[in-house]
Amino acid sequence: MNIRTNARRAGAVIAFAAGTSLVLAGCAGGGSGDGASTGATEFSVLVTNENTQTGQLFDILKENQCATEEKALPYTLSQTPSADMQSKIQLLSGQDALPVFYAGTQSLVKPGGDLEKAGQVLDLRQTFDDLGVLDQVTPAAQSVIEQLYDGAFPTIPLQFNIEGIFYNKKIFADNNIEIPTTLDELTEAADKLKAAGVTPIVASGKTGWTISRWLGAMIYSELGPDALSKVASGDAKLTDPEYVKVAQQLQDLGPDFIDGITNLDYDTMNAQMLNGDAAMMYMGTWFLANVNNPDQNKVGDDIGFFQFPGIDGYPANVGSPNVINAKLYNDGVGGWLSCIAKNWGSEALKTQGSFSGFVVNDPVADLPPLTADIQDKISKAPGSVLWFEGLFTPKANADSSANAAPLLTGAMSAEDFMGLIQGDLDSGQ
């Protein structure tokens, strides 16, 4: 397999990125209220019309690794436009007609959510344990799930991305810079590159989360892995002095970011990194789709990836909820879950170049070097933390992105930025 082939496979990673994840669900054909006593009669899955990746993998599994499970409980696929998915899920829930595999928003499936209270969310930690496949879930993925869902495990991690710093190895070598292991070393490296006439860091002011993710990573690095969960629980506030201090540290780093960042868009940001015009960029591993595309990547194997200094693990996400209807669970569904847990990780990496929250049991040959390196990092990660906005309310999320560039450039003070976001969190908006 050559790099160009891998690039086509890796292109699917973008479809799974944070912020653009596709919604998954199950179809109503798996049984309804009448069938709940005996469980599912088919393994029904509903995905959005826009999602071709999940159906592609299920088609492969049902014909190969999961052929026995397919014979015992036939797989069916239905599709619904993404804009209509949640209203359909809520309608089916009200009719006690939810399918086997479905999607619901995080608030609906977490403990105390409407779907969880209705008994329509399977406890996957207990189920995977009972099936003897809990060890097939990577520790990093399980850590993210438990943080997102208040300690519960209601979602199948069909996708998984970590975040860190992509860097240009040649630029680092030419300037005698080692991979930073502390935030101070990272700052010193950026200052050294700036003095040498190199753009140290690229981000997109028009896509503000590419800046605010820096703030989240710096908070974890300076204040510990529970710093943002404390904010979500009310045990701390973003307006506390130690949090404002970190926001000020990001603003102080602002001169080391690319000139004109306020008007820089996402694609131009990526091109700066892939053309060799910038030394570092904070990003999720969905960026591998771009790195592995020779039409975009002009520096080849010069692109590397390292963990953000000072964090024990990686900021990460597991995509949209993929929930099993507890009312339809039976041995046939359990067979499918076992097969998914054992085979999805390898098949997703081999077929689509994408990472999941499952162990890769069958090594995939001829992966591009950086993809293989990151896959190894994921498999060895002791755990994960959430991205900056992972536990934010919708308005806090939007305000964080909209005001990240003004914070970085000094157009907005650290105190005002953190006060705005904390106000959104306090209001519950």
Q: Which domains does the chain have, with CATH numbers?
A: 3-160+318-360 (3.40.190.10), 163-316+388-427 (3.40.190.10)
Query: How much is the average pLDDT of 259-286?
Result: 96
Q: Which residue has the higher pLDDT, 331 or 351?
A: 331
Q: Which residues pair with 78 in a beta bridge?
A: 46
Range with lowest mean pLDDT among 64-73, 94-103, 331-340: 94-103
Q: Which residue has the higher pLDDT, 150 or 418?
A: 418
163 phi and psi angles, rounded to 5 deg? -120, 145
In terms of C-beta density within 10 A (0-12 exposed, 13-18 middle, 19 or more buried), how is residue 104 classed?
buried
Q: Which residue has the higher pLDDT, 1 or 134?
A: 134
Query: Residue 104 has what pLDDT?
Result: 76
Task: Give me the chain's average pLDDT, please.
Answer: 89
**pLDDT tens string 344-360:** 999 999 988 889 999 99
Count of helix runs (H) and strand runs (E) in the chain? 19, 11
**pLDDT tens string 143-194:** 999 999 999 999 999 999 999 999 999 999 999 999 999 999 999 999 999 9
- Give the closest residue to 319 by CA, choosing from 62, 89, 88, 53: 53
Query: Residue 168 has what pLDDT?
Result: 98
Q: Which residues pair with 77 in a beta bridge?
A: 45
Measured between alpha carbons, how far is 108 from 207 in angstroms, rounded to an integer? 28
Query: Residue 51 has what pLDDT?
Result: 67
Q: Give residue 277's pLDDT band: very low, low, confident or very high (50, 70, 90).
A: very high
Rg (CA), the chain: 22
Range with lowest mean pLDDT among 68-77, 138-147, 177-186: 138-147
SS3 95: coil
The listed range with the strongest mean pLDDT (49-58, 375-384, 414-423) is 414-423
Q: How big is the CA angle at 304 (ends 299 and 310), to the nearest 5 degrees?
A: 150
In terms of C-beta density within 10 A (0-12 exposed, 13-18 middle, 19 or more buried), how is residue 282 classed?
buried
Residue 53 has pLDDT above 90, yes or no: no
Q: Give residue 2's pLDDT band: very low, low, confident or very high (50, 70, 90).
A: very low
Calculate what percentage of the chain has a pLDDT beyond 90.
76
Measured between alpha carbons, how far is 215 from 210 in angstroms, rounded to an integer? 10
Tell me which H or E stretch contains 399. Answer: helix 394-409
**pLDDT tens string 7-44:** 334 443 333 333 333 333 334 344 433 333 489 999 99
Quickly list DSSP for 282-341.
EEEGGGHHHHT-TTT-SSGGGEEEEPPTT-SSEEEE--S--EE-GGG--HHHHHHHHHHH
Judge if pTM exceeds 0.85: no
Query: How much is the average pLDDT of 126-154?
Result: 95
Query: How much is the average pLDDT of 321-338?
Result: 96
Measured between alpha carbons, how far is 422 from 2 in angstroms, rounded to an integer? 49
Q: Please state, in angstroms and as integers, the Cα–Cα distance from residue 255 to each residue in 18, 176, 191, 222, 275, following that order.
A: 27, 21, 9, 20, 21
| Block residue for tokens 């959005």 | 48
Q: Give residue 47's pLDDT band: very low, low, confident or very high (50, 70, 90).
A: confident
Measured between alpha carbons, how far is 386 from 145 in angstroms, rounded to an integer? 9
Tell me which H or E stretch contains 10. Answer: helix 3-10
Measured between alpha carbons, how far is 99 from 97 in angstroms, rounded to an integer? 6
Residues 6+ positions from 164 with CB-CB distance below 8 Å: 282, 283, 305, 306, 307, 308, 314, 315
SS3 237: coil
**Helices within 149-254 (DSSP H only):** 169-174, 183-195, 209-223, 227-233, 241-253
Q: How many residues does the chain have?
A: 429
Residue 48 has pLDDT above 80, yes or no: no
The listed range with the strongest mean pLDDT (22-31, 224-233, 383-392) is 224-233
Residue type, 139: P
Query: How much is the average pLDDT of 63-90?
Result: 92
